[in-house]
Structure 1
């Protein structure tokens, strides 16, 4: 699933796993943190490839 807007983000399951490519090029994690609490499970930076795997922790925070 590609999350394009807030309505799609709010449809995620409370324990969803999310793989974010190029996580440091866009403020996706900052925006995600305003909607959900999440735990970072793994982060890798290898050359020009960057990605992070996170798991949502519970319900929405509605802090956006």
Structure 2
């Protein structure tokens, strides 16, 4: 259910030249980042978690870029 939710949100972006594999890859990455974040939420000082959150933010910024 969560994967389908991520996929629907990403597909709404209608990114030019992306095929289903691209959408699924981005969905898997965002899902993995969210899962790691949930597992490590107790370890607030985790450098890995901060790096993944940064990547997640960069992905969101890319997906929301109107120039695509």
Q: Structure 1 length normalisation: TM-score?
A: 0.29
Which structure's CA Rg is the greater one?
2
TM-score, structure 2 normalization: 0.28
Structure number with the higher helix fraction is 2
